[in-house]
Amino acid sequence: MNVIPLSEFSGVHGSRHARLYIKTSDSGTQRVVSEKPGSRIITRIGKLPLLRNRESVQERRNAVAAEDYHTRSAFQETLKQVYGDAFSQQAIQDIAGKTLTRRVVKKIINSAEKMKVCGGKPSSSDKAGGFAEVAYDISLKELGLFAQKAKMITGSELKNIETLATGNGCLRSLMTAAQGVAQYSGNADIARVVRTLLDRQIGGIPFSQFGTCSTTGGAVQWIKNASQDDLEGAADVIRQIAGDFEQLFQNIKSGQNKINSPSPETTRSDNAGVGVQTQVTAETARHWGAVVQEFRATRR
């Protein structure tokens, strides 16, 4: 899926209350447009009980539903690229049942930017709405899920970096989840461990770059020029890192006071690295035990 710039959604011309949808030209170019007044009237008429079952009206309703689904999916992918997977999922969930308009788009962007200004910590209004808890919970679950998947990666699979590092690819999703855990935890120890793991070197390239697919990126170029032995060595390190992320996930969930992660001093510049234990204080462990219990309580 080609990602549409966020400015296309926020800067579209027309009424700020008009429905947004994606229009595809004959050449295949996609752009975001707002529904014209005439079409808006037809859409509203189609919601009237006496008319909604007419064949022509039903066809119109189906077409609008398809447009809305495609547009929301594209908007979610754009939000994911800019603000991360956890935020994008929660934002789309929050507007379920609402029409996607320029006003709604700007409200979502303002909320995201407010969190960035606060250093990734939600404002008091966000806390009241439980956004940080939900975003953290989603990130933590996905960290465990994609860490398990990354533990199965082979050298041959690394050749398909475009698949692994884009969209819902395993490495891309693992990076996004890890960054979400660090961002929404509000805990310096957890953030430090995540940063250390993402900075692990594979062939002289930070692991974090293996979750971003760019034709000029170091990871993509390295994989293109790597031998099969190099790829197998890189996959081995990725599996080690994924194992460390899985251990981080398990320890946070259980409230233990030890987190396995490699120290920068022990990471070598080749395709190997040996993890050492990073100690987390008992106070931190108790904090995360309480957080887990709080999340479990909110899900009941």
User: Which one is predicted more confidently, 60 or 148?
Assistant: 148
What tokens appear for 274 in the block? Answer: 């040996």
Q: Which two tokens stand for residue 178?
A: 């890890």
- Write out pLDDT tens, residues 154-177: 999 998 888 888 777 899 889 988
Which of 33, 110, 61, 292 is CA-nearest to residue 187? 292
The tokens describing 225, both together, are 């020029």
Pick the CATH number of 131-299 from 2.40.420.20, 3.90.700.10, 1.20.120.260, 3.40.50.1820: 1.20.120.260
Write down the pLDDT at residue 112. Answer: 82
* Range 83-95 average pLDDT: 83
Highest mean pLDDT range out of 137-146, 251-260, 277-286, 289-298? 137-146
Q: How far is Cα of residue 229 from the mean position of the Cα atoms in its chain?
A: 31
The whole-number pLDDT of residue 299 equals 39
Spatial CA neighbour of 239 closest among 277, 271, 266: 271
Domain boundaries, the chain: 6-117, 131-299
pLDDT in tens, 11-58: 888 888 888 999 887 777 888 998 887 665 656 555 555 455 566 666
